[in-house]
Structure 1
Amino acid sequence: MSAAVATERTAKERVRRTRSRGRNELDPLRVSQMAAHEYDLDPACISLVCPSCRTWVPINRPNGQPGRTRLVPHHTDKAGTADPVVCKGGSHRRVIIDVEIERWRQRLEEGAAETNGRRSNRVTRKPKVAVAPAVMQILSPLLDAKAVLKMYEAHTKGCATCAPSGRDRCTDGGRLAHLVAHKQRTEPAHRAALTIEEELAEQREQGQWLLRDLQWASTADSVRRADIQRVHDALVAMLKPLSPEKAKSPRLTDWERADVMSTITMLAMKVEQLSR
């Protein structure tokens, strides 16, 4: 009897728990509610950004029981600072890791791909400013050899530098002389090219007219028959009021009868013309 009582009074072995004085009564942090760049689920160093001091802090026992997963006690200042201050709002705060590592890695890869797409590696160079053409270069396509020669002669008469002999010339005189020589050398070929182009344009226009005539000839018979039928229907409509069956209808006045007869005569002439 004494042995049984002794057995009942013996204390059972209890599960040993870690007793820690550091307690944090704030709500636990859920990793799924944080931005992807504010936590790191790499097994080498699982950590996150403390919401209180914005410092990267390791997570204690990330693979343990949910109640034991907490933020490591940390300081709000940088490492090596004299008399650091402990972060009371974030130290020992519970953490709930409810994000899969593969999903986290996928979000990081998608964000990196999107960021790389926004950054362009192409170098945009400034466009080179084109040199403005000279007045002679602008007028060259608009003038022929005779007009350029007249301009050169007028310049030679009014310029004190340009000699009539052509040995001494100013800048404008030299350009005009060069332009005269260029026009005289290229004018025949340019005129020949213009002549050929005008002939081709005329032949093209003639071909279009010929094609139009052929298309009209292919449909002329059907159009003529339609016109004749239209005039015939108009004649029938005009003759109906004059038929004997319409004796009870109101009689036409002399002016109305004359108008009807002139219209009938015109339609008859039109039918005769279309029937030829």
Structure 2
Amino acid sequence: MSASTLERTARPRRSRTRSRTVNARPALVISTLKPHQVDLRPACASLICPDCKTWVPISGLQTKRPKVVPHDTGLAGKDAAVRCRLGSNRLVTVDMTVKKWQERLEDGNSETVHRRKTTVLRKPKVALAPAVSQIAAQKQTAPTDDEPGDGRALWLLREMKWASTETAVRDADTRRAQLPAGDAPLGSPLVPLTTLHPKRPAR
């Protein structure tokens, strides 16, 4: 298979380039970046491109017009060869010394070392209040001291109890109806047959 048919991958980033092309965008100011997003050591001067979020060498750091070298957006040799149009050949304004950058980097590390992860306190789950209809249904099925229940509705238990005693109640009513007319308990006064209208005494 010829090399022309192979899919091109991202090219390695060169620390120096002879290209005189300059990006028309405003210069990238070093102080606007975070300390961990830039490396001002002369041996490996580089920064994270704000557009493609990859590390890119800074060409001509000791000159008057340092700039970001042309680069692709992916990892060299792995991702597809897509040129970063917005960040390539962009001028860089170095407005701090290497010592100042190292101090900012060390201060940031000292702050993050002593950080502790916070423990998330979960709020206890509160049970929802039952609806009025649910409370009424619970009262109907709840057993009482004289009416023990087994989960069935209270009205059903009462119907079953009445069915078990209905025969005895009707027999008692029948026997009461068979008493002779006019019988009354001994020693009791006669029941008046006319309506009494008492009068108040005259004053």
Name the TM-score, length of structure 2 as normaliser: 0.46
Name the TM-score, length of structure 1 as normaliser: 0.34
Bigger fraction of residues in helix: 1
Higher relative contact order (CA 8 A, sep 6+): 2
Structure 1 or 2, whichever has the larger Rg, is 1
